[in-house]
Structure 1
Amino acid sequence: MSPAPHSEPDRAEFVQAVLDWLDEPTASAETIDDAFALLSDQRRRLLLRVMRTYDEELTLPDAAEEVAIRETGHGVTDIPAERVTEVYLSLYHDHLPRLVDAGLLVYDQERDLVAPDGI
């Protein structure tokens, strides 16, 4: 039995476009590896998308809620509060510090606000 054709024909096109972009010597191998490492986690990608969508500062709880909505595909009223709390904690302890260190987001811990920086 042969494998089914990809339902996402853009996957190959996307990879080809990335490879074409990588052929241009605009960044070091280390920078490229760091960028792919940052983007390797879906929750980080979703947080970056949320911040690009709103393009303004959000409270981290609001950002976590929006990430949970995008992860589950459900409205906020259909997502258990524990799930949103889990997303918040993982953003706060893991993903947000990485994105702040990379210069993509800014975080004001005192006010619990996250904002785009360079997005």
Structure 2
Amino acid sequence: MSPESHPEPDRAEFVQTVLEWLDEPDASTETIDDAFALLADQRRRLLLRVMRTYDEEVTLPDAAEEVAVRETGHSVTNISAERVTEVYLSLYHDHLPRLVDAGLLAYDQERDLVAPDDI
């Protein structure tokens, strides 16, 4: 096999690690499926990473900026306000409620603050 057939060698290791974890009898099939569904979206994964990085309350606008930075690889000064607004709205309406419902994040709507919960 040529090296080009496996551009990301860590991927196979990661999948093997996950499969070993799945062999543990503690988690139900539904729990596993729910976890994969939550992690399937890159924006949700980025938000979780942002919250793990700061490990404290962050305003949702600041979290949206950081997610946009990580999505694009650009500094915040090189990202349009429209892009940050789009990220904010998708976090607010879609991704954040899912993560709050799962018990991973807490959200204070009155203060527009996101906080790690069980991260």
Fold similarity call, TM over 0.5? yes
* 1:90 alignment partner AA: S
3-state DSSP of counterpart to 1:4: helix
Q: For 1:82 and 1:97, how far apart are their aligned partners in 2?
A: 22
Matches within 5 A, 1:1-119: 4-119=4-119
Q: CA RMSD in A?
A: 1.2
TM-aligned CA deviation for residue 5 of structure 1: 2.0
| Aligned residues with identical type, % of pairs | 87
Q: For 1:97 and 1:6, how far apart are their aligned partners in 2?
A: 36
Runs of 5+ unmatched residues, structure 1: none
| Number of residue pairs aligned between Structure 1 and Structure 2 | 118
Q: For 1:69 and 1:111, how far apart are their aligned partners in 2?
A: 23
Q: Deviations over 1:46-66 (max 9, x none)?
A: 000000000000000000000
Superposition TM-score, scaled by structure 1 size = 0.96
Q: Deviations over 1:71-101 (max 9, x none)?
A: 0000000001100000000000000000000
3-state DSSP of counterpart to 2:5: coil
TM-aligned CA deviation for residue 7 of structure 1: 1.8
Runs of 4+ aligned residues of structure 1 deviating over 3 Å after TM superposition are none
Q: For 2:6 and 2:86, how far apart are their aligned partners in 1?
A: 33
3-state DSSP of counterpart to 2:7: coil
Q: For 1:98 and 1:18, how far apart are their aligned partners in 2?
A: 22
